[in-house]
Each structure stands twice: as C-alpha cells, then as structure tokens.
Amino acid sequence: MKKGKAGSSSLEERIISHEAHVVVVGLGYVGLPLAVELAQTGFPVTGYDVAKKRVEHVNAGKSDILDVKDEVLGPLIKAGKLSATTDPKVMAQADCVSICVPTPLSKTKDPDVSFILDAVNAIKRHLHPDMLVILESTTYPGTTEELIRPMLEETGLKVGKDFYLAFSPERVDPGNPIYNTQNTPRIVGGTTPECARITKLFYEQTIAKVYPVSSTQAAEMVKLLENTFRSVNIGLVNEVALMCDRLGMDVWEIIDAAASKPFGFMPFYPGPGLGGHCIPIDPHYLSWKLKSLNYYARFIELAGDINSHMPEYVADRVAHALNEEKKPVAGSKVLALGVAYKRDISDVRESPALDVIRLLQQRDAVVEYADPHVPEIKTDNGAMKRVAVTAERLKKCDCAVILTDHTGFDYELICRHAPLVFDTRNATRDVRSPKARLVKL
C-alpha cells in the first residue's frame, strides 16, 4: 500500500481506522454539519474558516447553524474531537480536505468561484502525497477537472497517483426534520477510478449510502439536475397560479385535486418567489456553462424569469386588494408575516419576502415585519427589527401579508383581527370562519 506522511500508514488504512485527520473548509450550513458528523464518527476534525468570529463561536461550542445544536457541538469541542481555526497551515496536517464554501452568482448571473479558488490555493500550498481533496460546493460541470485539478498538479504531484481528487455535492436541506447529513445518500465522482474508490470509502464511514458516478463532471451535473428540477417545476406551478388568477380559480384547490392521482403527478406549490442559496442560483450555473457551448437552456431561463417576477406579482396583488378596500398603497400599514426563505428556519438568503417588502416600500407603504426566527433584516430604508404579532397590531394594520408559513404563527389570531389578509402560502387553509377578508395567491 502507498505510504503518505513519514512513518504513517496508508490513507486507506487511516480512513478505515478513523485516524485520518479531516479538515473542513468553510463552517457554514454545509461545512459545520459535516464536521460534526465526522467528529461524532471518531475522525479528528478541524474546521477552517476565514471568518474569525465564526471560528471563535465554534471553538466556544456555539452554533449559528440551525441543524447543529450547541448541546451536540459543545461536547465535541470539549473532548478535543473538533476544533476550528483561521490558520491555513492546518492543511499540512490534513489527510482529507472537504471544501464547503459558498458559490454565489455575480450580478450578471455568472458563476463566482472566487471562494473555491481561495480554498484551493490554501490547500495547494500544503498539498502532500496521499492526500484526499473533495469539493462539495455546488458548481458548473467541469469545475473540478478543468479548474481545481490543474491548480493542484502545479505542485508536481499527480492526481490519482500522488493525491486524490473528487467532487461530492452537498445535499443539505436546512431545517429538514427527517433528512440530514448522515442519512441523505451521498453522490461521489472521482477524477480517476482510484480517486472515486478512496472517496467512497471515506464517506462510507459516516454516510448511510454512497452512490458513485463515472466522473466529477457527472457528479456536478447530478446536483444541478436536482435543483433545476425543483426550479422548473416551481416555475410551472407559479405560472399555473397566474393562470388561475386570470381564470378566477383557486390554484390550491387545483393542486390538491391533481395530487389525489397516485401516479404520474408530483405536487409543487406556488409562492412569492424562490429563496435560499441553491434553487434560485444553481440552475444558472448550468445555463452559463451551456452558453459557452452555444446552447440556450430554455427551460432554466423561462423558469428563472417566472420565479424572479413573483415578488412583483405579489406586490401588485397586495396593491389591488388594498384598492378594493378603497385604500391606496401609499400610507397603508402592511404587516409582512415571515421573511425567511422557507418555513421554520432563520435563513433569509435570496428570500422573496425581502423583495416584496422592498417593492411595497417603494410604493410608500408603511411596512413592518414579524418572524419568530429572524430578529432583524436589512432593507433599502435601513435595518428593520421584527415586531410581535398581537391582536392590537393586527387590528391597526391595513393588510397582513403571509410570505413565510412558519408554524409558530397563530393563523386563527391573524384572520380574526387583521382586516385584510393576503396569503401567498395557503397557510390559512385550516382557519375556520375568518373575520378578515382573505385573499390567496
């Protein structure tokens, strides 16, 4: 077997014995849960992050990630199984490095891989034989092979011979009570068959099921297909909502009825737009890549166009509903209920609720927001702090707009005291005899 660092056993042996030192680059919503899972399995784990405050919080046993509880993180830190650092020299002691950094889009919807490049440059300076490098950050097909591999091979070490390189996309669903890092199947694509084998072995120590594919490009494409599937289907059902509005139909009734079919239909639901880091962004990685091959990804672009315009549609519907109450938008008091991008989480990244608030403020509406998970947001008019949902506040508002269907909201209270409720999530479906005028998307 191949030897790694002086006097050490092979990487394969260290992985099987859980002695391999793992460095997780990026301690956000992907990296920290992975680091915790690996540490719980018995691997010595170091989290590397450029954010000093985040590193300090982790080392203090404090988590700002919904899926990692302090009572789980704290004991791992105290026992020395997990630590965090801002020093990239930790890479020199790593057997396995997992890159879990953000991959945003630029304003022109081009991939911003600067965080990946920064991570790879840090690894490159400390790359050594028998080291496994895995990219988990979502990106366009070809990134691992065309971007990362040449950078690492500039050291003189050869992939598949001296070190191992693979892509394994994160599949995190923040706040999901059923599926987490451990029980969500893991896709693995290696730059060589040996890279794939070692990477599969590594994940099998912590993940219930590992599914290998033929290449890093295939693994990169799998993640983009998953999120493009959701984006396109949400775009379809959002357009159906627009159609039902024109036809005077209840889109929620239509979807529920269609979902009664036990085959050939999967229900998706409309809303005020798409949010989160993945679904609004990832399909555009694929679209961007295909443009370089002179191919126009029509479904992706059309779905993106429909979904991105939903906040405008919601703002228009709110204005219309107020107008029917003989009230102009300007000066009307609007209570936005929920600003997180989905139910029962605190993540506001790309949240359509923020766009709806901005659009209503541009029309001179007086907007307040309530969210049990988000204490403060930033708007074009400055920082806003959340307010409490009380009977008195509801009575004083002109319209309550449900933008995120948190389970912590009392929808009976809302529909009993607000004069007008615009529900973009069908959260009020079980409310009996609402006193408010109730308008649904």
Tens digits of per-residue pLDDT, 335-377?
Answer: 999 999 999 999 999 999 999 999 999 999 999 999 999 999 9
pLDDT digits (tens, 9 = 90+) for 234-279: 999 999 999 999 999 999 999 999 999 999 999 999 999 998 878 8
122-to-145, 149, 433 alpha-carbon distances in Å: 18, 14, 61
**Backbone Cα Rg of the chain:** 24
Predicted pLDDT of residue 3: 44
Burial 261-278 (b: 16+ CB within 10 A, else e): eeeeeeebbbbbbbbbbb
- pLDDT over 50 at 105, yes or no: yes
Q: For residue 250, is it within any domain? A: yes
DSSP for 159-218, written as a single string: BTTTBEEEE------TT-SS--TTTS-EEEEESSHHHHHHHHHHHHTT-S-EEE-S-HHH
Residues 127 and 250 in one domain: no
CB atoms near residue 400 (< 10 Å): 26
Residues 206 and 319 in one domain: no
Residues 383 and 435 in one domain: yes
Predicted pLDDT of residue 66: 84
Residues 259 and 202 in one domain: no
Q: For residue 2, is it within any domain? A: no
Q: For residue 18, is it within any domain? A: yes
Token pair, residue 145, equals: 């092979």
Q: For residue 380, is it within any domain? A: yes
CA-to-CA distance for 441 and 434, rounded, in angstroms? 17
Q: For residue 319, is it within any domain? A: yes
Token pair, residue 75, equals: 């004991």
The burial of 79, by beta-carbon neighbours within 10 Å (0-12 exposed, 13-18 middle, 19 or more buried), is given as: exposed
Instruction: Examine the fold and report which residue of 307, 330, 350 is the final residue of a domain before the chain moves on.
Output: 307
Instruction: Examine the fold and report which residue of 281, 307, 333 is the final residue of a domain before the chain moves on.
Output: 307
List, in order, residues 6 or more apart from 382 with CB less than 8 Å away: none
Residues 255 and 149 in one domain: no
Dihedral (CA of 347, 350, 353, 358) sign = positive
pLDDT digits (tens, 9 = 90+) for 56-95: 999 999 998 888 999 999 999 999 999 999 999 999 999 9
Residues 328 and 418 in one domain: yes
Structural domain containing residue 267: 224-307
Predicted pLDDT of residue 429: 95
Domain count, the chain: 3
Binned at pLDDT 50, 70 and 90, residue 435 comes out as: very high
Contact 348, 333 (CB under 8 A): no
| For residues 158-164, average pLDDT | 96
Q: Calculate helix-pair angle for 31-41, 70-78, nearest 10 degrees.
A: 50
Q: Cα 202–208–214 angle (5° rounding)? A: 60
CA-to-CA distance for 38 and 315, rounded, in angstroms? 45
Q: For residue 4, is it within any domain? A: no
| For residues 133-154, average pLDDT | 96
pLDDT digits (tens, 9 = 90+) for 279-326: 888 888 899 999 989 999 999 999 999 999 999 999 999 999 999 999
Q: For residue 6, is it within any domain? A: no
State pTM to two decimals.
0.91
Residues 183 and 315 in one domain: no
Q: Cα 157–3–190 angle (5° rounding)? A: 55
Instruction: Examine the fold and report which residue of 214, 232, 256 is the final residue of a domain before the chain moves on.
Output: 214
| Active-site residue list | 278
Nearest to 97 by CA among 198, 181, 248: 198
Q: Cα 168–173–177 angle (5° rounding)? A: 125
CA-to-CA distance for 307 and 274, rounded, in angstroms? 6
Name which of 201-210, 285-294, 388-397 the model is least confident about. Answer: 285-294
Predicted pLDDT of residue 2: 42
Predicted pLDDT of residue 4: 47
Residues 267 and 130 in one domain: no
For residue 144, what is the DSSP state? I
Residues 233 and 247 in one domain: yes
Binned at pLDDT 50, 70 and 90, residue 150 comes out as: very high
Predicted pLDDT of residue 279: 82
Residues 144 and 38 in one domain: yes
Residues 54 and 152 in one domain: yes
As a residue count, the chain comes to 441
CB atoms near residue 77 (< 10 Å): 18
Residues 167 and 268 in one domain: no
Q: What is the largest CA-CA distance in the chain?
A: 81
User: For residue 116, what is the domain's CATH number?
Assistant: 3.40.50.720
Phi, psi (deg, nearest 5) at residue 439: -120, 135
User: For residue 234, what is the domain's CATH number?
Assistant: 1.10.1040.10
Q: For residue 186, is it within any domain? A: yes
| For residues 132-143, average pLDDT | 96
